[in-house]
């Protein structure tokens, strides 16, 4: 009687172990680089409340651009807070970020050496030239956003 129970318990645990091992690491494995690079935002790993997606790599200087969207509850009686940040890496090194002011979220894509930002209403497309380095200031959706840590 004890043997079937042990086998059943092991069999039911095996799929969850496999799923856990196959899952992607927190922040696509970039958490340590963000901490070392003095990232100023929150580091959220919950798949329910955060996404960290590689948008693309620019031509030339080969910057990797990640779209980081998150939400969190600052305290139990509070309301959800959230945001969108565009994080820039050069190789494995965190270079900096643009903190965007949603809602609503901005669509992001990379085309050659340019980072393209599209407002949700499709009224505005901002093209950022990454052929040399990230621009120090951008204007999107009526807001000025600075490149920083």
Query: pLDDT tens for residues 16-71?
Result: 333 333 456 889 999 999 999 999 999 998 888 899 999 999 998 899 999 999 98
Q: Which whole number is the average pLDDT over 84-113?
A: 92
Inter-CA distances, 18 with 26, 51, 61, 68, Å:
17, 22, 38, 26
pLDDT value at position 124? 85
Cα 141 from Cα 121, distance rounded (Å): 10
Average pLDDT, the chain: 84
Contact 90, 96 (CB under 8 A): no
pLDDT beyond 60 at 15? no
Query: In terms of pLDDT, which residue wins out, 142 or 5?
Result: 142
pLDDT beyond 70 at 91? yes
pLDDT value at position 14? 37
Identify which of 126, 109, 19, 117 has the alpha carbon closest to the alpha carbon of residue 58: 109
Confidence at 102, pLDDT banded by 50, 70, 90: low
Least-confidence region, from 15-19, 24-28, 101-105, 134-138: 15-19
pLDDT value at position 119? 87
pLDDT value at position 3? 46
User: CB neighbours (10 Å) of residue 56?
Assistant: 17
Q: Which whole number is the average pLDDT over 128-147?
A: 92
Contact 141, 106 (CB under 8 A): yes
Rg of the chain in Å (alpha carbons):
20
- Domain segments of the chain: what residues? 25-148
pLDDT value at position 24? 66
* Helix (H) or strand (E) run with residue 33 in it: helix 31-36
């Amino acid at each position: 009687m004890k043997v079937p129970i042990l086998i059943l318990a092991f069999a039911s645990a095996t799929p969850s172990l496999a799923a856990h091992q196959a899952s992607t690491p927190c922040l696509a494995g970039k958490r340590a680089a963000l901490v070392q690079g003095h990232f100023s935002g929150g580091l959220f790993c919950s798949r329910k409340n955060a996404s960290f997606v590689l948008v693309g790599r620019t031509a030339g200087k080969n910057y990797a651009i990640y779209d980081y969207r998150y939400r969190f509850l600052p305290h139990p009686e509070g309301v959800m807070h959230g945001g969108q940040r565009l994080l820039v890496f050069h190789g494995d090194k965190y270079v900096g970020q643009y903190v965007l002011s949603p809602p609503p979220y901005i669509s992001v894509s990379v085309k050659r050496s340019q980072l393209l930002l599209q407002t949700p209403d499709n009224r505005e497309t901002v093209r950022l030239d990454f052929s040399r380095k990230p621009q120090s200031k951008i204007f999107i959706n009526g807001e000025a956003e600075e490149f920083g840590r």
